[in-house]
Amino acid sequence: MATAPTELLLVRHGEADSNRDGRFGGWSPVPLTERGRAQAARAAAELVERRPVAVITSDIVRAVETAAPICAALGVTARHEPGLRERSLGVFDGLAFAEAEARYPDLWRRLIARDPDAVPEGGETAAAVFARVSGAIARIVADHAGQRVVVVTHGLALFHVFSYVCGLGVPSPDAPVFVLVDNASITHVEHRAGDRWRIVTINDTAHLRGM
């Protein structure tokens, strides 16, 4: 009998204050908006139908708040995994885009131009984020072999998950593809024998229809 795949239901957190207000979220403790909480509830109702056995979440507030109704619906306790955090941009975290541009004009221009060496003070390089996120996904797969689990994380972190699953390695400025999924969307991937991956769905937002 073939070994059952390990299924990851990857959820981006619901809309947060930073998304609504045009700010860098990063590691800042911004909460969900009212709309974000409603999105999380919709995601929870959808995920109950898929019967996952566990919920693993980034330990940043907006992800934890998204995981809460999912855990309540499933009757489980979330496991916090710091490796699933969003990329930190150091001194940019929590700043409005206009504020960051005004305070750090040169660094802002380089960052927007996707200069890989443009890392704000205290921020993370793309290589550091990829190592952290891919390590977290590898641990989750090892801990939940053959099971279906929910993973709640962030937009750029999910792009690094995509790069890992597709074998693309550390995202680079000249990468031929970029993936940014919507708030409270569900992306379904399977890890199979031989360290192979299957992408089932990307950015599924059917449960958010009408919002």
**Residues with catalytic function:** 13, 86
Count Cα neighbours of 130 within 13 Å in the Cβ-side half-sphere: 15
Q: Rounded to an integer, what distance in angstroms lies between the CA atom of residue 183 and that of residue 14?
A: 5
Q: Rounded to an integer, what distance in angstroms lies between the CA atom of residue 74 and that of residue 160?
A: 27
DSSP letter string, 131-146:
HHHHHHHHHHHHHTTT
Beta carbons within 8 Å of 53's beta carbon, 6+ residues apart: 76, 144, 147, 148, 149
